[in-house]
Structure 1
Amino acid sequence: MRTVGIQMGSIESKELSNTIKVSGMLTVPNQNKAFVTPSYSGIVRSLYVQPGSYVSKGKVIATISNPDLIVMQQQLQQVNGQIRMAELEVTRAQQLYKGNAAPLKKLQQAQTDLATLRSQRSGLQKQLGSIGATQSYGSALSVRAPISGTVSKVIAQIGSNVDMASPIAEIVSNSALHLDIYVYEKDLAKVQPGQTIHFTLTTSPGKEYDAKITSIGTAFEGESKTVPVHAQVVGDRTGLIDGMSVTVVISLDNQTAASVPTDAIVNDKGQDFIFIRQNDKNKGDRGNVPDSGEASNNKESEEKEVRFEKIPVAKGVTDLGYTQIIPLKPIPDNAKVVVKNAFFILAKMNIKGEEGHGH
């Protein structure tokens, strides 16, 4: 055996994790994305951010200017002046009415005019406030971040003409990174909300991240016979960005069963096999695998030859370099199994045309 590197071992009882690997993509839900748009049209005069900048909600990221703001502010100042005059008129009408020098109708008209002007002032104040403009004269308007997050792109530039339909920038918050994966129908029953899964970046598999399944789809995705499963990333998010491709490992269950090193299993014509070493009493009638070196004569060769039996098996879970097996024919207790270079025995057997035994 030493000349061909054959190594022997035993069938072991091991608890292995039944896992599946699927591809996925990191996404950010729409409620964690925002376009930065002005509340009023204007020309971009300054930009204070660039892609990759972190901003807090309410931070000024740009200023725009529009001369029309001055028109609105002027209207407000005019209304304020009219209100002061209307208040004086109401006071005068009250005095005249009390002295029976003016009819009640004149007092009521003065009060109505004052209420109308105050309503106009309130409307102008709210209009200026809603777009972030001051009530004093000025054409500049500050544009603020609607959410906290990282600037993913800056769309506008100095001098751009923007309005409510023209974003200046886009902000993405990675505080709620999601993971979209697709699971085949046969594995769906073993995936549950709340289950923790592990994933690595497809382009950088060295670091492992965690996510927790939040929801499972109820319909197949196109013709793929897969169902969408959504998870939320938990724990460390360092280096994770919206749109990254990931490889996900989902642990389905743990199983304890007879196992052998994965290299001990060979496949011949679609059937999986292992090789066990036969007892000495069964040696003899076919070609053997030499234990070491060349035999000097036939007698010495027979003493050093080892006989193997080919056992069909059904494979189960593979994990940590081991694969669970179910022998499809009885094997002796404490049987010695070829755990390395089993393919050499298979090749020798096929060359000699042997079906069940190798020597």
Structure 2
Amino acid sequence: MKKLFFGIILILSACMQRKEEHAVEAAPETAENVAFITLEQMKAVGIELDTVSRKSLVDAIKSNGMLTVPNQNKALVTALTSGIVKSLTVLPGDYVKQGEVIATLVNPELTKIQQELQMTVAQLNLAKIEQQRQQELVAGNAAPLKNLQRVETELATLTATRNALQQQLATLGISPIAVAGGKISTTIPITAPISGTISNVTAEIGANVDAATPVAQIVNNSELHLDLFVYEKDLPKLKPQQAITFTLTNNPGKTYEAAIFSIGTAFENDTKTIPVHAVVNGDKAGLIEGMNVTAVVSTGAVKGPAVPAAAIVNHAGQDYVFVLMKATKDGYEFEKWPVAKGVTDVGYSAITAVKELPAGARVVSKGAFFVLAKLTNKGEE
């Protein structure tokens, strides 16, 4: 009987020992995810807590790009005929209006066209007189009809020649009326084809230029475009008329606005980016072609659980927050809680918890890296 009693005691003792050993083995798994921070450490490090709350965060795409001016807003100022530059009235940076004279050329050969116009006008006047005389003769049966027809044909030819010469001189900037009145000019005005700012002046006084030689270049910054380069994964989030805010890379203090008007359909050169074109709206002061910009494209709002961005730490490729599990008179216990980080906006990041968070959970919003460091060091110990 005694032997049986001692046998039962030994069996019970062995079972209890196994349970204790199993408990000791299981405990570290939980302990590895829990960090205890004393009140002194909380104060010294400046650890702060915040509640997990639902927020509406704006999802956005960040991209780099460059300011450009469309070709229809740029112009090379050229002469319509060859000549020697007589005067230049503009400097780089000057604003000019369409039609304003910015230079003049001298070409003595233009006197031939003007002389021809004057001769044609004189012949045309004689032809009109002859036409009237032949009409009177034909009416009185004093001359054949063919004489009148010959004069009318000559009159039509002279009229066409005069119109062509007048158009040619008008295109060159010489007044046909003044020439017809007897005035001859060898000076050709060169006018601005568009309104804008002179970006550079390439001609010099005394230089011989022709229609293929630009005198100056004009850029109109009233319609600036923004060319962005967006990665393939972000393309489905974009659409025309989408709002963009951007800053200059070298001067991020001021924000500008733009709107998408065209999305590319092919990759840019050898990159995996696709060009997106936008038009700059509102204030364009200080913006010029070629400036590099950093842009943010708003793609909508995401509503759900969010925490301060500083509350999320990354360890071994996984994002975590530290959830307050227990508060005592000596300090606080925080559990490392796995989450998936989402949109970040106005200092908050959306999160999706891998396992459900406790109701009203409070997390470390400042000093999370200290808690992670202490927990990591404890694990190494």
TM-score (norm 2): 0.81
Shift of 1:116: 2.9
Aligned residue for 2:364, secondary structure, equals: strand
Larger mean CA deviation between 63-72 and 103-112 belongs to 103-112
Identity of aligned residues (%): 54
> Do the aligned partners of 2:326 and 2:334 also contact (CA within 8 Å) in 1?
no
* 2:209 paired with 1:172: no
Q: 1:117 aligns with which of 158, 167, 182?
A: 158
Aligned mates of 1:106, 1:268 — CA distance in 2: 107
TM-fit CA distance, 1:83: 3.1
TM-fit CA distance, 1:209: 0.9
- Any conservation in 1 of the 2:62–2:296 contact (CA below 8 Å)? yes
In structure 2, do the counterparts of structure 1 residues 309 and 138 end up closer, same or farther at CA, with 3 Å as the change threshold?
A: same
Deviation at 1:265, TM superposition (A): 1.4
Q: Note the 1:128-147 alignment, pairs <5 A.
A: 128-134=169-175, 135=179, 136-147=183-194
Equivalent residue letter for 2:375: M
User: Residue 113 and residue 276 in structure 1: after superposition, are their counterparts in 2 closer, same or farther (change >3 A)?
Assistant: closer
3-state SS, counterpart of residue 192 of structure 1: coil
User: Residue by residue, what CA displacement relative to the aligned partner does 1:38-75 show, whole Å, maximum 9, x if unpaired?
Assistant: 12211111111111111111111111110011111111
Deviations 1:289-320 (A, max 9, x none): xxxxxxxxxxxxxx524322111111011111
Residue 242 of structure 1: aligned partner:
289
In the alignment, structure 1 residue 79 sits paired with structure 2 residue 107: no
In 2: Cα distance, 1:99 partner to 1:257 partner:
103
Which residue does 1:188 correspond to in 2?
235
Out of 311, 314, 321, the position equivalent to 2:337 is: 311
Contact 2:326 2:332 in 1 (8 A): no
Q: Which residue of 1 aligns with 2:76?
A: 35
Partner of 1:265: 312
Q: Cα distance 1:306–1:160, how it changes in 2: closer, same or farther (>3 A)? A: same
- CA offset digits 1:148-180 (Å, max 9, x no partner): 111111111211212221111111112221111
> Are the structure 2 counterparts of residues 72 and 304 from structure 1 closer, same or farther at C-alpha, using a change threshold of 3 Å?
same
Unaligned runs of 5+ in 2: 1-41
How far 1:91 moved relative to its partner? 5.2
Q: 1:320 to 1:81 in 2, by over 3 A?
A: same
Aligned partners of 1:84, 1:331: CA distance in 2, in Å? Answer: 101
CA RMSD of superposed structures (Å): 2.3
Q: 2:99 aligned with 1:58, yes or no? A: yes
* Counterpart amino acid of residue 310 in structure 2: D
Which residue in the other structure is 1:344 paired with?
370
For residue 274 of structure 1, what is the amino acid of its counterpart?
V
> Deviations for 1:124-166, whole angstroms, at most 9, x for unmatched residues?
1121112111323010111111111111111112112122211
Aligned to 2:265: 218
2:90 aligned counterpart, secondary structure: coil
Q: CA deviation at 1:97?
A: 6.2
Deviation at 1:225?
A: 2.8
Which of 3, 15, 28 is equivalent to 2:56?
Answer: 15
Q: d(CA) in 1 for partners of 2:378 and 2:340? A: 25
1:336 deviates by 2.7
1:185-220, Cα deviation, whole Å (9 max, x unpaired): 222222111111111111111111111111212223
1:241, distance to aligned residue in structure 2 (A): 0.9
Higher helix share: 2
Say if 2:301 is the partner of 1:254: yes
Q: What SS does the aligned partner of 1:347 have? A: helix
User: Which AA in structure 2 matches 1:179?
Assistant: L
Equivalent position SS for 1:174 = coil
Residue type of the partner of 1:336?
R
Contact 2:242-2:298 at 8 Å conserved across structures: no
2-structure distance, mates of 1:342, 1:218: 44
CA shift in 2, pair 1:65/1:346, >3 Å: same
The superposition leaves residues 62-117 of structure 1 with CA deviations (integer Å, 9 ceiling, x where unpaired) of: 11110011111111222223334444555565666677776555554444334333
Q: May I ask how many residue pairs the two structures share in their alignment?
A: 334
Q: 1:79 to 1:344 in 2, by over 3 A?
A: same
TM-score by length of 1: 0.85
Equivalent-residue separation in structure 1 for 2:151 and 2:186 (angstroms): 35
Instruction: Give the distance between the partners of 1:90 and 1:19, measured in 2 at CA.
Output: 79
> SS at the partner of 2:222?
helix
- Counterpart amino acid of 1:309? E
Q: Judge which range, 197-206 or 122-131, deviates more.
A: 122-131
Equivalent position SS for 2:158: helix
C-alpha distance in 1, partners of 2:360/2:99? 72
1:325 aligns with 2:351: yes
Q: Distance in 1 between matches of 2:337 and 2:135?
A: 113
SS at match of 1:153: strand
Which residue matches 1:279? Answer: 326
Residues in 2 aligned to 1:315 and 1:271: alpha-carbon distance in whole angstroms:
9
